[in-house]
Amino acid sequence: MKLRIIVSLKNGVLDPQGKAIQHALAGLGFEGVDDVRAGKIFELDVADDASDEAIDEMCRKLLANTVIENYRVEKQ
């Protein structure tokens, strides 16, 4: 089973990288970009019988820092 795990900063946490990208887009002439949030995607290939609990635990224990980040799991 293929998993796609999307990790992004929580709302309200300032994203300096996103801000820099936003400014760079404006510098390239792309107007109207009100906000940019940078994140990470992990693509995992796991056993078909991997439990939701185990996947959730992987995210909480290592892939995301839940102090500042949210995660979302997509099964493909």
Partner 1 sequence: MKTAVIVFPGSNCDRDIATALEDVTGTAPAMVWHGESELPSGIGLIALPGGFSYGDYLRCGAIAARSPVVRAVVEAAERGVPVIGICNGFQVLTETGLLPGALMRNSGLNFVCRNVALTVDNSQSIFTSGYQAGETITVPVAHHDGNYFADAATLDALEGEGRIAFRYAEDVNGSARNIAGVLNKAGNVLGMMPHPERRIEAAHGGTEGRRLFEGLLEAVA
User: What is the per-residue burial (b if ≥16 Cβ within 10 Å, else e) of 40-63?
Assistant: eebeeeeeeeeeeeebeebbeeeb
State the minimum distance, in angstroms, from the CB of residue 57 to partner 1: 12
Question: Which residue in this structure is represented by tokens 């996103």?
Answer: 18
Q: What's the alpha-carbon Rg for the chain, to the nearest Å?
A: 16
- By the rule CB under 8 A, 17 interacts with partner 1: yes
State the minimum distance, in angstroms, from the CB of residue 20 to partner 1: 5
Q: Which of residues 52-71 bind partner 1 (CB under 8 A)?
A: 61-63, 65, 67-68
Q: How many residues bind partner 1 (CB under 8 A)?
A: 11
> Which residues are at the interface with partner 1 (CB under 8 A)?
13-14, 16-17, 20, 61-63, 65, 67-68
